[in-house]
Amino acid sequence: MVEQGTENPRVGGSTPSLATILAIGLSGLWAAACVTDDCERLCERVGNRLSSCLDDWPATWADLDATSRAGFVDDCKQSWARQREQLEPRELDDALLQCSEAGDALSTMRQDGTVCDELRALYLD
């Protein structure tokens, strides 16, 4: 097929322009960069729960070796990233499953009202 470039040179043809291809590719990269795994999500969830629990504890973020909730979450994610690099694919799948199960357990503890007690035992006792 012949494109009719002479009638309206500003109209693109049937092949996507380079800008369209780049936009699609960059949006895919952006989406991939925003994807978090179950272990990263667990870092966020534990940080959020600890933040709520600290209101009732005679403790601070410093007692958890962090400067803030964001600092705790960042440290957790960085630690996970270092560990993740060392895992074989089979081990990675197992670790992600464990993080998913820990997230489920965190939800159950929250519903049962035991989440702060459990987190205190893990992080402070």
Of 74, 71, 53, the C-alpha closest to 62 is 71
Model pLDDT, residue 39: 95
pTM across the whole model: 0.70
Structural domain includes residue 29: no
pLDDT tens figures, 38-83: 999 999 999 999 999 999 999 999 999 999 999 999 999 999 999 9
pLDDT digits (tens, 9 = 90+) for 107-119: 999 999 999 999 9
Please tell me the distance from the alpha carbon of residue 98 to that of residue 69, in angstroms, as a whole number.
23
Output 5 or 93, whichever has higher pLDDT.
93
Question: Mean pLDDT over all residues of the chain?
Answer: 82
Q: Which amino acid is at 98?
A: Q
In 3D, which of 120, 116, 118 has the Cα closest to residue 49? 116
Q: How many domains does the chain have?
A: 1
Helix axes 115-123, 38-54, angle to 10 degrees: 100
42 within some domain:
yes
11 in a structural domain: no
Give me the mean pLDDT over the 34-38 stretch.
76
Residue 10 placed within a domain: no
Residue 116 lies in a domain: yes
Quickly list H helices, the chain: 18-34, 38-54, 69-86, 89-112, 115-123
- Residue ranges making up the domain that contains 115: 37-123
109 assigned to some structural domain: yes
20-30 residue pLDDT tens? 444 445 444 44
Residue 111 belongs to some domain of the structure: yes
* Structure confidence at residue 81 (pLDDT): 95
- Residue 56 included in any domain: yes
**Digit-coded pLDDT (tens) for 82-97:** 999 999 999 999 999 9
Confidence of residue 2 (pLDDT cuts 50, 70, 90): low
